Amino acid sequence: MVRGDFDDPASLPPALDGVAAVFGVPPVAYGPSGPETGLEAARGRALIDAAVKAGVEQVVFSTVASLSTSLSTSTSASTSASSSAPARGGRGKRLIEEYLHDHVALPTVLRPVRFMTNYLGVGAVAIDGLSPDGVHRHLFPPHEPMQVIALEDIAEFAALAFADPARFAGRTLELAGDEPTPVEAAAAITAATGLPIRYEQITGDDAARLGPEVADTMRHWHAGHRWHADLEALRVIHPGLRTLSDWLAESGASAIRAHLAGI
């Protein structure tokens, strides 16, 4: 283990000494007034600069899914960085993506949608996890598809990219493994855990109270913008792509039961 600090760029090249490839996950940077896009982008660029300085040719970055421009927008497993709008918290990551493509010989960007493990906790803005009484609160319409992905599958796509750099160089992959409606997802969790789970969509006033980013994302969603990963195309690349039911059977159901039991 070698320690590197995004805010101390000089510490990064030694941490990459002898490294053949890099997998990066740029964290969202927060300040007193909310997300700090500039700081987030600077940290991601610092890692890219360090990789280039260390002679690393392949960098795989996991960022965040983009929103299609409308419900009628066609989907694809691979997109250009400018074909769609960033989702909530994604502006800094888009700046990092652009820098990555401009400076690295073999860049790959993975854009995952909502994690299936998000059911195990409440996010920074107090939505998304399951409450102690089994309620999932979010901005998604209850009866429209909601794309989700297992963390294990993000790792699988990264491994595929590292195994075949030429095949994935320059590609941006929107990643999802399933798209149940929130109500269908709650029913699947109920069936898998034996616990009563239900979904509750937050209101516009709720979104406004949770902050401008949540409110802005809700407005985009109501305007028809959606995550747009192409599940069929992704399964051609990774046939073992997990559905929500797969994840629940593997580990999710037991983890959710433990979470709700306070274990």
From CA 153, how far away is CA 241, in angstroms rounded?
6
The answer to whether 116 touches 179, Cβ cutoff 8 Å, is no
Distance in Å from the first CA to the final CA of the chain: 30
Instruction: Give the percent of the chain with pLDDT over 90.
Output: 75
pLDDT-based confidence at residue 239 (cuts at 50, 70, 90): very high
What is residue 262's predicted lDDT score, i.e. its pLDDT? 87
What is residue 78's predicted lDDT score, i.e. its pLDDT? 58
pTM beyond cutoff 0.75 = yes
Q: Taking all residues of the chain, what is their mean pLDDT, rounded to a whole number?
A: 90
Torsion angle of C-alpha atoms 38, 116, 179, 83, degrees rounded to 10: 20
From CA 102, how far away is CA 243, in angstroms rounded?
34
CATH code for 18-260?
3.40.50.720
CA distances from 213 to 89, 109, 124, 133 (A): 7, 23, 12, 27
Question: What crossing angle do the helices spanning 253-260 and 182-193 adopt, rounded to 10°?
Answer: 80
Higher pLDDT: 196 or 14? It is 196
The yes-or-no verdict on residue 141 having pLDDT over 80 is yes
CA distances from 126 to 13, 28, 258 (A): 37, 16, 20
Task: Note the Cα 91 to chain centre separation in Å.
Answer: 13
* Cα–Cα nearest to 63, from 42, 39, 81: 81
DSSP state of 70: S
What is residue 170's predicted lDDT score, i.e. its pLDDT? 98
- What digits encode the pLDDT tens for the residues 62-98? 999 998 864 433 344 654 444 455 555 578 999 999 9
